[in-house]
């Protein structure tokens, strides 16, 4: 069974085509600059040369059409036509309190996702455009929604409520939702596999450290707490997002700097985090390089990120009443030897120790804890597309349709 995974952003579509018999990647690509005359498609079929094309792409429907065309292309493609695609799995950012798992997309589900637009005004609309485009171009092919929030949907009430007047939760749905759920779910399950243990009996802390970053406490496979909240702004220090902040700073800055709502939103979402602290970059590679050359601002940025993360790990150890496994994933988590090393220092009270040689090993998926560490520490490359494809394949199989 072949599954197409689509991740539609406001001006881009990321895609993968997977063969689910052996979970192998057949092709992957990215179409960027949708809505312009010089959109760029970068496509690679496994085992073939990468190809880049530039052409006008006015909207998401054209974008998905171009993705399908290249998948059917005699030279660069991997399939004959749409009939070979058994399901489409869509990454959808926000399902609010509507769904706690992946679902077959129907008119009712799309209506529910439209109700969630007020919670994710930047993300859900392009996700829905991608769904509508795929429905039009692959009529009759089941479409499945996999939500960033779903894994966190059953987090306990004491973890998701803010200490605001309760009426505001009831009126506007102001609560903590959490994001990156598909990634946290994947790496937690993979960590349990690597440890040879049952997920249901483990206390796991997963650190998804990319340009956006979040950390999740998982008790027996269920989310006990996560650092992102009503929006992806809460929690850790990120590339350009500030993470946790005293809320009183917002009105203070609006007054002092003469900022309107758009201005303050830009500042805390796009101008803060590593970029704001360092004044250099939102990219950890550049921060590490500048810190080594003696930039005190880069050192600050690195230290604040590490300190905040360590605070959360300590807090989540308390939430879980202990930790069996700590996982690092996403761009920084998978690649930064330095961040992993700094974060893991000073956890002797948890019995957590890493082996610096293993930490430096070029292996992508690895255990980096010492043999006598009470907490196992893993680096696990995330694979959200695989989870989306697995969920789509499972839902389609449960429909009882013969796989194509």
Nearer to ligand AMP, 113 or 187 (CB): 187
Distances in Å between the alpha carbon of 276 and those of 253, 301, 335?
15, 8, 22
Which residues are part of the catalytic machinery? Answer: 148
Binding mask 281-320 for ligand AMP (x = CB under 6 A): --xxx-----------------------------------
Which residue in 231, 335, 341, 370 binds ligand AMP (CB under 6 A)?
335
Residue whose CB is less far from ligand AMP, 234 or 288? 288
Q: Does 269 bind ligand AMP (CB under 6 A)?
A: no
Stretch that binds ligand AMP, among 10-18, 85-93, 256-264, 278-286 (CB under 6 A): 278-286
Shortest Cβ 207–ligand AMP spacing (Å): 12
Please select the residue that binds ligand AMP; options are 29, 229, 239, 243, rule is CB under 6 A.
239
Of the pair 14, 90, the CB lying nearest ligand AMP is at 14
Residue where the block lists tokens 């690092």: 328
Q: By CB under 6 A, tell whether 119 contacts ligand AMP.
A: no
Smallest separation, CB 247 to ligand AMP (Å): 26
CB of 72 to ligand AMP, least distance (A): 29
Nearest approach, Cβ of residue 332 and ligand AMP (Å):
4
> Which residue of the chain is nearest ligand AMP when measured via CB?
331
Among 206, 272, 336, 369, which residue interacts with ligand AMP (rule: CB under 6 A)? 336
Three-state secondary structure string covering the chain:
CEEEEEEECCCEEEEEEEECCCCEEEEEEEEECCCEEEEEEEEEECCCCCEEEEEEECCHHHHHHHHHHHHHCCCCCCCCCHHHEEEEEEEECCCCCCCCCCEECCHHHHHHHHHHHHCCCCCHHHHHHHHHHHHHHCCCCCEEEEECCHHHCCCCHHHHCCCCCHHHHHHHCCCCCCCCHHHHHHHHHHHHHHHCCCHHHCEEEEEEECCCEEEEEEECCEEEEECCCCCCCCCCCCCCCCCCCCCCHHHHHHHHHCCCHHHHHHHHHHCCHHHHHHCCCCCHHHHHHHHHCCCHHHHHHHHHHHHHHHHHHHHHHHHHCCCCEEEEEHHHHHHCHHHHHHHCCCCHHHCCCECHHHHHCCCCCEECECCCCCCEEEECCCCHHHHHHHHHHHHHHHCCCCCC
Residue 32 CB, nearest approach to ligand AMP (Å)? 15
Instruction: State which residue, 221 or 381, has the beta carbon closest to ligand AMP.
Output: 381
Among 126, 210, 229, 235, binds ligand AMP (CB under 6 A): 210
Cβ-based neighbours of 382, under 8 Å, separated by 6 or more: 183, 186, 187, 208, 329, 330, 334
Q: Per-residue x/- mask for ligand AMP, residues 15 to 54, rule CB under 6 A?
A: ----------------------------------------
Residue 36: closest CA among 71, 60, 16: 60
Judged by beta carbon, residue 68 or residue 332, the one nearer ligand AMP is 332
Binding part of the chain for ligand AMP, among 11-19, 24-32, 331-339, 354-362 by CB under 6 A, reads 331-339
Would you count residue 96 as binding ligand AMP (CB under 6 A)? no
- Could you say whether residue 332 binds ligand AMP (CB under 6 A)? yes
The CB-of-214 to ligand AMP minimum distance in angstroms stands at 11
Minimum distance, C-beta of residue 291 to ligand AMP, in the bound complex (Å): 11
Residues near ligand AMP (CB under 6 A):
210-211, 239, 283-285, 330-332, 335-336
């Amino acid at each position: 069974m072949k599954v197409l995974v689509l991740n539609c952003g406001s001006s881009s579509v990321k895609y993968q085509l997977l063969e689910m018999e052996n979970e192998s990647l057949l092709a992957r690509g990215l179409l960027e600059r949708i809505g312009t005359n010089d959109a760029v498609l970068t496509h690679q079929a496994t085992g073939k040369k990468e190809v880049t094309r530039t052409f006008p792409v006015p909207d998401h429907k054209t974008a998905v059409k171009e993705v399908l065309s290249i998948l059917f292309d005699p030279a660069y493609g991997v399939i004959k036509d749409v009939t070979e695609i058994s399901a489409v799995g869509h990454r959808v950012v926000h399902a609010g309190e509507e769904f706690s798992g992946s679902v077959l997309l129907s008119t009712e589900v799309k209506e529910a996702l439209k109700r969630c637009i007020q919670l994710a005004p930047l993300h859900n609309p392009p996700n829905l455009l991608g769904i509508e485009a795929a429905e039009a171009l692959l009529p009759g092919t089941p479409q499945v929604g996999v939500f960033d929030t779903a894994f966190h949907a059953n987090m306990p009430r004491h973890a998701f409520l803010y200490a605001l007047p309760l009426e505001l939760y009831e009126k506007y749905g102001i609560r903590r939702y959490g994001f990156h759920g598909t990634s946290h779910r994947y790496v937690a399950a993979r960590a349990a596999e690597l440890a040879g243990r049952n997920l249901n009996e483990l206390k796991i802390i997963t650190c998804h450290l990319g340009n956006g970053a979040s950390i999740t406490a998982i008790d027996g496979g269920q989310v006990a707490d996560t650092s992102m909240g009503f929006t992806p702004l809460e929690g850790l220090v990120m590339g350009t997002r500030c993470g946790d902040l005293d809320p009183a700073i917002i009105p203070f800055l609006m007054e002092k700097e003469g900022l309107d709502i758009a201005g303050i939103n830009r500042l805390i979402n796009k101008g803060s985090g590593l970029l704001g602290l360092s004044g250099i970059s939102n990219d950890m590679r550049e921060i590490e390089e500048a810190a080594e050359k003696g930039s005190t601002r880069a050192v600050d940025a690195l230290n604040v990120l590490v300190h905040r993360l360590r605070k959360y790990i300590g807090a989540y150890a308390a939430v879980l009443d202990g930790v069996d496994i700590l996982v690092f994933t996403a761009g920084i988590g998978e690649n930064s030897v330095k961040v992993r090393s700094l974060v893991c220092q000073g956890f002797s009270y948890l019995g957590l120790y890493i082996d610096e040689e293993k930490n430096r090993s070029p292996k992508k998926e690895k255990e980096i804890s010492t043999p006598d560490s009470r907490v196992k520490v893993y680096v696990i490359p995330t694979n959200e597309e695989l989870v989306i494809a697995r969920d789509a394949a499972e839902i389609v199989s449960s429909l009882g349709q013969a796989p194509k």
